[in-house]
Structure 1
Amino acid sequence: MFRHKGRSRTSKHNLRLATLLSFVAGIVNVTGVLSVKTLTTNVTGHFAYFAEEVTKHDYQAAIVFLIYTLFFLAGAFTSNFLAELISKKKQELSHLPSITIEFFILVILGLLGTHSNFYLLNGKWIAFGLLFAMGIQNALVTKISQSTVRTTHLTGLFTDLGIELSQLFFYKKPEERKTLKTSIYLRLSIISFFFLGCFIGGFIYGYLALQTLLIAAFFLLVALYYDYIRLHFIAIKRKKKTF
């Protein structure tokens, strides 16, 4: 899922990565909305709110929305910086620092988010942490998939999906249609799993509150160890065939 890069990476690798991490993003998104009334998987709306508060001369509120975007940016910067740094020594481990940081952010907020210290500034530290984590995830997935997959927001996905659906009326060659249908299926899968994450996360939030983030952290671990688990099962199957 993570270890295949460049020419060795296929649409199947992108599909596995996209579905699992878009599910994680969906859980994080709905948890952020329900806990601190803030969208934490993208920054588009925060720019609009920033402009609104500036026009109302409420500069304190405007700065908060600006900080939201900066935390997402910082997450993306950190993710790629660490990936580039590690890849110079061990290319196959370039994803590890980003996933590890995101995992610990989700675990810390899930376990300690209800503590009074995290509710300073009306819980905005929770939003800052989640935005940073989603910036990390979006940058990591974008880099690994060579900009084919984005898992934390849907605006661009719906745009690309609309374009590709229209192309079905014009692409007639079998190879072109096969590539196009593969891309459409990928985008529909991301949208579906993001929605599924939002739905399941919203349901679980009614019982676990911020600890719902621990569920998202668990699926990050699944994503991290998926390749190793899969290779282990393949090795076992090969051993059975030799006997």
Structure 2
Amino acid sequence: MLIRVGDDRTSHIDLVLAGLLSSIAGALNAVGFLIAGSFTANMTGNISALADHVANGAFMIALSFGGLVIAFICGATLAAITIQAGERHGVRTIYALAITAEAFIVLALGIALARSAGNTHETLFVIALSFVMGLQNAVTTMISRARVRTTHVSGMATDIGIEMAALFGGQKMKQDALPKLKLHSLTLICFTLGGVCGALIFGFVGFWLFVIAACMLLFMSLPEVLRARRG
């Protein structure tokens, strides 16, 4: 799931990757809103909020939303640089290692929040979480050659509309659209369910949700690292 790249990947592998990672992204995005009132995976909304606050003269608040966008871009940039370097040096496990790094960042955030009893600066928390979302989205985009995007909800909703329209076209258009429709619909559904479950679980276990999310990421990535090294 985190070893094969691009055309070497099957549609089933992409579906599993999209389902798992979009669920985690949805959960973290929902918890970010519950803790700090900001969506860490929604860059369209954050840029809109930035523009609105600038127009109203609330420049400091606008700056915080700008920080979320910059953090998301930095996470994606760092992931891309690391992956490109790994691919140049033939590191087959580079994508799995990137998800492992995400797991440890999420775990560190959970520990920091738990130790501070929820008094951690909210802006710093959501900026760090936006960094994580950018990292994850870059990993899934690069490994699937842009077929899988786990936080790009607006784009997925648009793609679903285009693919549904293609179902009314010729047979070739239907054949091309159906796998994409299945993938994007699953991603959108899992992101939504992840958000619902994340909010509910956070209400019961609090910051242990981050430990659960980190364990899920490690469960995905570490077996892939070991399998690739054995191979």
Q: TM-score, normalised by structure 1?
A: 0.87
Q: Paired residue for 1:127?
A: 126
Q: Paired residue for 1:163?
A: 162
Shift of 1:12: 1.4
Shift of 1:142: 0.4
Q: Select 2:180's aligned residue among 178, 183, 193.
A: 183
Shift of 1:33: 1.0
Q: Paired residue for 1:217?
A: 214
Summarize the alignment of residues 8-23 of structure 1 with structure 2, pairs less than 5 Å apart: 8-23=8-23
Equivalent position SS for 2:135: helix
> Aligned equivalents of 1:26 and 1:219: distance in 2?
14
Shift of 1:27: 1.0
Q: Paired residue for 2:67?
A: 67
Shift of 1:230: 8.5
Shift of 1:41: 1.1
> Aligned equivalents of 1:142 and 1:69: distance in 2?
18
CA contact (8 A) 2:112 2:120 kept: no
Q: Which amino acid is 1:211 matched to? A: W
Q: Paired residue for 2:58?
A: 58
Q: Select 1:197's aligned residue among 185, 188, 194.
A: 194
Q: TM-score, normalised by structure 2?
A: 0.91
Structure 2 stretches lacking a partner, 5+ long: none
| Count of aligned pairs | 229
Summarize the alignment of residues 45-124 of structure 1 with structure 2, pairs less than 5 Å apart: 45-116=45-116, 119=119, 121=121, 123-124=122-123
CA contact (8 A) 2:99 2:221 kept: yes
> Aligned equivalents of 1:221 and 1:190: distance in 2?
20
CA contact (8 A) 2:72 2:132 kept: yes
Equivalent position SS for 1:90: coil
Q: Paired residue for 1:33?
A: 33
Shift of 1:227: 4.2
Deviations 1:200-234 (A, max 9, x none): 11111111223212221121112214547989xxx
> Aligned equivalents of 2:176 and 2:223: distance in 1?
26
Shift of 1:43: 1.1
Residue identity (%):
32
Shift of 1:119: 4.0
Look at both structures and tell me which one has the larger radius of gyration over its CA atoms.
1
> Aligned equivalents of 2:197 and 2:180: distance in 1?
26
The ranges of structure 1 where at least 4 consecutive aligned residues each deviate by more than 6 angstroms after the TM superposition are: 228-231
> Aligned equivalents of 2:213 and 2:143: distance in 1?
20
Q: Which amino acid is 2:170 matched to? A: Y
> Aligned equivalents of 1:110 and 1:47: distance in 2?
26
> Aligned equivalents of 2:53 and 2:119: distance in 1?
22
- Distance change (3 Å), C-alpha of 1:222 and 1:102: same
1:145 aligns with 2:144: yes
- Distance change (3 Å), C-alpha of 1:117 and 1:215: closer
Q: Which one is further off, 88-97 or 15-24?
A: 88-97
Shift of 1:112: 1.7
> Aligned equivalents of 1:221 and 1:99: distance in 2?
8
